[in-house]
Chain A
Amino acid sequence: MNRETLLWVIVLLIGAALLAGRAMFAENGMGKAYITPVEKTYVGLDADVAEAAEAEAETKTVWVSIDELPEDFDVDAVADDDVVSWDTYETKDYAAYIAAQNAGTNDVVFSLSHTIGIWIAALLTLFVLSFLIKDNPLYKVAESMFIGISAAYWMVVGFWDTIVPNLFAKLAPGPTTAWALPGIRDEAQFELIYIVPLIFSILLLMRLAPKAGWLSRWPMAFFIGTFCGFRLISFLHGDFLAQIRNTIVSLYAKTPQFAADGTAMLNEAGAPIMDFTFWGSVQNLILVIGVLACLVYFFFSFEHKGVVGGTARLGIWFLMVTFGAAFAYTVMGRIALLAIRIEFLFDDWLWLIDPTGRRAVEAVGMIVLAPLGMA
Chain B
Amino acid sequence: MKRTIPLLLASIAGFIMIVAYFSPHTESWGEEVAVWFNILAAVAFILGGGNLLKIHLRKVSDRNSGWMYSVITVVSFLVMLFLGLWKFGVNPNPQFPDYGHWAGEYNDSTSPFYWLYEYTFKPLQATIFAMLAFYVASAAFRAFRAKNFEALLLLATAFVVLLGRTAAGVFLTDFIPADGPFAALRLEEMTQYLMNIFNTAGNRAIMIGIALGTASVSLKILLGVDRSYIGSGDD
Taking Cβ atoms with an 8 Å cutoff, the residues of A that contact B are 40, 42, 44, 61, 63, 65, 81, 84, 86-89, 113, 116-118, 120-122, 124-125, 128-129, 131-132, 140-156, 158-160, 162-163, 166-167, 179-183, 194, 196-197, 200-201, 204-205, 207-208, 213-214, 217-240, 243-244, 246-247, 279, 283, 286-291, 293-295, 297-298, 315-332, 334-335, 337-338, 340-341, 344
Q: Is the CB of B35 within 8 A of A324?
A: no
In the complex, are the beta carbons of B66 and A179 less than 8 A apart? Answer: no
Contact of B202 among A120, A155, A208, A319 (CB under 8 A): A319
Specify the main secondary structure of chain B where it touches its partner.
Answer: helix
Indicate whether A240 sits within 8 Å of B208 (C-beta atoms), given known contacts A158-B42, A225-B11, A338-B133.
yes
Complex Cα distance, B215 from A85, in Å, reads 58
Contact between A324 and B153 (Cβ–Cβ < 8 Å)?
Answer: yes
Note all chain A residues with C-beta closer than 8 A to B132.
334, 337-338
Residues of B with C-beta under 8 A to A295? 205, 208-209
User: B80's closest neighbor in chain A, by CB?
Assistant: A152
Query: Which of B73, B159, B196 is the one whose CB lies under 8 Å from A147?
Result: B73
Contact A286 B211 (CB under 8 A): no
A-B contact pairs, 10 of them (CB 8 A): A88-B109, A141-B69, A213-B235, A217-B230, A226-B33, A235-B210, A243-B211, A322-B201, A325-B198, A328-B162
Interface contact A316-B150, CB-CB below 8 Å: yes
The chain B residue with its CB closest to the CB of A217 is: B6
Complex A-B, nearest 10 residue pairs according to Cβ-Cβ distance, in ascending order? A322-B202, A290-B201, A156-B84, A225-B10, A294-B205, A324-B157, A229-B17, A229-B14, A148-B76, A221-B6
CA distance A140 to B73 in the complex (A): 10
Q: Whose C-beta in chain A lies nearest to the C-beta of B232? A: A214
Question: Measuring CB to CB, which residues of chain B are less than 8 angstroms from any residue of chain A?
Answer: 2, 5-7, 9-18, 21, 30, 33, 35-50, 52, 66, 69-70, 72-81, 84-85, 91-99, 102-103, 106, 109-110, 113, 115-134, 136, 149-151, 153-162, 165, 184, 191, 193-212, 214-215, 217-219, 221-222, 229-231, 235
Task: Report the separation of the CA atoms of residues A213 and B116 in the bound assembly, to the nearest whole angstrom.
Answer: 36
| A324 proximity list for chain B (CB < 8 A) | 153-159, 161
Q: Bound complex: CA of A118 vs CA of B118, how far in Å?
A: 9
* Partner of B130 from A163, A330, A341 at Cβ < 8 Å: A341
Q: Across the interface, do B18 and A144 meet the contact criterion of CB distance under 8 Å?
A: no
Are A290 and B202 in contact (CB-based, < 8 A)?
Answer: yes
Q: A63-B94, A140-B66, A140-B69 are in contact. Are A128 and B124 (CB under 8 A)?
A: yes
Q: Given the complex of chains A and B, what is the CA–CA distance between A215 and B35 in angstroms? A: 21
Chain A, Cβ-Cβ closest to B123: A121
* Bound: A217/B229 CA distance, A: 9
Contact between chains at B130 and A144 (CB < 8 Å): no
Q: How far is the CA of A331 from the CA of B166 in the complex (A)?
A: 12
Q: Given the known inter-chain contacts A239-B207, A341-B126, please indicate yes or no for A44 contacting B47, CB distance below 8 A.
A: no
